[in-house]
């Protein structure tokens, strides 16, 4: 039975042990661990110690999430299921009451898109800024060339260490979600922009894009810079973000004939299902491909 909601307190020892396991054994990223911690703390604020919660309590908890977006519900249920499986494996309880929870069918939204003309205006504006020779303009050109030219996530880009820079081959060494490492090709344009940035980049930091206050450029600041550039390029800034540029990279590669498995590797997706969203984005090209290549096209 559900209880009245109370203020979330410190995580229970079992939840703390679960988060430590996720970090040590599964290499969960910091953002993932923070999300699990919030979801499980929120659950405990309603039903109490999760190790003692029964199926009825969890069902009532799921009902309290009914007004949330399907993706949020699915994330919370996933956190509960993984915690309960951990508790069972560790002998903290004999049953797993989370098996009664039904994951909502979350329809993955299609990403916002920028067409080729908008991308061209966007990059031309960045090049004009960089032509003035200011460190800020040169840095911005390097940032957007890597976002669109290599499809990096915002976090991957701003946290790049100098050691990730290509030496003998045009590849960046990227550490992505869950500590997974991959090599990402760097275009000739992006390499040129990087060389210009290295020539004016301030020293004293191990990060490729250092912050004046120490550490590296923040994701929030990157978002602001990209939106400001879009405005100056005559593009609705609401349409543009670092993630939208990553989507444009993926969509335009697929339009050019890139293989979906190759695209999965470049984007650092653990699951091909995540990459398959781009087959919906580029559906017109796929229909044309079937009409052109299918053996029955002439019948």
- 116 is a catalytic site residue: no
Instruction: Name the nearest CA neighbour of 182 among 169, 191, 172.
Output: 172
For residue 198, the surrounding DSSP H or E stretch is helix 188-200
Query: Among the options 93, 177, 189, 196, which is catalytic?
Result: 177
- 243 is a catalytic site residue: yes
- 280 is a catalytic site residue: no
Per DSSP, helices labelled H in 90-181 are 116-131, 135-150, 154-158
- 177 is a catalytic site residue: yes
Query: Among the options 75, 76, 139, 153, which is catalytic?
Result: 153
Query: Among the options 81, 182, 189, 243, which is catalytic?
Result: 243
Judge whether 72 and 62 are in contact, CB under 8 Å.
no
- 298 is a catalytic site residue: no
- Spatial distance between the Cα atoms of 241 and 225, rounded to a whole number of angstroms: 9
Judge whether 93 and 51 are in contact, CB under 8 Å.
yes
- 239 is a catalytic site residue: no
Query: Among the options 139, 201, 216, 246, which is catalytic?
Result: 246
Query: Among the options 36, 76, 247, 278, which is catalytic?
Result: 278
Classify residue 6 as exposed, middle or buried by CB count within 10 Å of its CB (0-12, 13-18, 19+).
Answer: exposed
Question: What residues act catalytically?
Answer: 153, 177, 243, 246, 269, 278
């Amino acid at each position: 039975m559900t209880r009245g909601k109370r203020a979330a307190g410190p995580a229970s020892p079992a939840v703390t042990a679960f988060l430590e396991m996720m970090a040590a054994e599964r290499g969960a990223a910091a953002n993932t661990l923070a999300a699990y911690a919030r979801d499980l703390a929120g659950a405990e604020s309603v039903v109490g110690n999760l190790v003692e919660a029964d199926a009825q309590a969890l069902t009532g908890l799921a009902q309290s999430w009914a007004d949330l977006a399907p993706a949020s519900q699915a994330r919370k249920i996933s956190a509960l299921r993984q915690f309960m499986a951990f508790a069972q494996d560790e002998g903290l309880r004999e049953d797993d009451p989370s098996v009664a929870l039904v994951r909502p069918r979350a329809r993955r939204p299609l990403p916002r898109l920028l067409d080729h003309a908008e991308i061209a205006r966007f990059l031309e504006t960045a090049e004009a800024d960089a032509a003035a020779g200011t460190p800020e303009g040169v840095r911005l050109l390097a940032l957007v060339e890597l976002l669109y030219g290599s499809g990096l996530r915002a976090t991957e880009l701003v946290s790049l260490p100098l050691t990730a820079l290509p030496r003998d081959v045009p590849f960046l060494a990227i550490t992505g979600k869950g500590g997974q490492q991959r090599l990402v090709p760097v275009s000739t344009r992006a390499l040129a922009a990087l060389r210009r940035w290295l020539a004016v980049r301030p020293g004293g930091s191990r990060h490729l894009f250092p912050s004046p206050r120490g550490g590296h450029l923040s994701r929030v600041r990157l978002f602001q810079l990209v939106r400001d550039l879009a405005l100056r390029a005559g593009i609705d800034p609401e349409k543009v973000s670092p993630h939208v540029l990553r989507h444009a990279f993926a969509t335009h590669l697929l339009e050019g004939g890139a293989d979906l498995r190759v695209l999965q590797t470049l984007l650092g997706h653990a699951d091909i299902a995540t990459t398959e969203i781009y087959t919906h984005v580029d559906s017109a090209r796929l229909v044309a491909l079937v009409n052109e290549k299918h053996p029955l096209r002439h019948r």
